[in-house]
Structure 1
Amino acid sequence: MDGGRRSLLLFGNSALQWGEETVAVPQKVFVLSALLRLAFDRRAPRTTLAAWMYEEAHQSGALANLRQLLLRIQSRQAELGAELLVITRAEVRLPRPATAPFCDLDRFMTLGVPKDASELAALGALYRGDLMENLAGCGETLSA
């Protein structure tokens, strides 16, 4: 799939856009993308991600769930010809900025305190709602 700017939107209703088109991906792609963007070095071991995402499951069940999710993500990335996440046997990380789609959360995290009206307007344009507000949760557990 090619055509236009690739954007991963995490504020408001999470979406992956290719130009004007919204592309379907597993919803937990957004959760993983946000977790990794907030992690110190933009990567995390599979065991850590499994514990974060499937906290109510036993470790072996959580790892099995994560493994199935990562297989679905890899399959979808291959269909799209895109790299949203780099998945290895031990960890998941974000791709290099040169190959990654634009992400509103990355841009938001690099902004300082607005100094004038134009910077405030730029900040306001990024904010489309709460972080991943369309993903349902039950207490601390995400049910996306």
Structure 2
Amino acid sequence: MDLGVWGLLTILAGLAGLTFAACVFVYLRRLDGRTPAPLGEEVGAHKAVLAKLRKGEPMTQDEFVYARELVDDARSPLALAIPATLFCCGFFYVVGCLYELHVYGGNPSFRTFVGGIPMLSSINIAVQLRKVARLKRKLADVHPDRESVSA
């Protein structure tokens, strides 16, 4: 059975996708098993806290704890398994379509490259995770106030 390059790439993409999906499962179980920061239950807190951190504005103790949690989550290597899984799904679709075209003939159509959409989206997710992870330097300079938002 001769799979050719496209067949081997399809198998490789499928196996990589399954491996990354298992990593996502482990990562989400870890996140689910911990006690969340109280501020994390508020709508829009994520965006507001990260904006304060980026601008270097003073933060309360609760905001500081939540910001540290967000940065630590983004710095985890397992966090990158989320966009990697999405990328592998798109790549699997593209190379699978190219394999079918190679084996059965035909011309590539737009349908063949629809898998590029999740691949591009996954790159955006990875960049956003890295942006949050880079805030660790700014987090070291923050000295939280003693007052608390939830008090």
Coarse TM-score class (shorter-chain normalised): under 0.3
Q: Which has the larger radius of gyration?
A: 2
Which structure has greater strand proportion? 1
TM value normalised by structure 2: 0.25
Which structure has greater helix proportion? 2
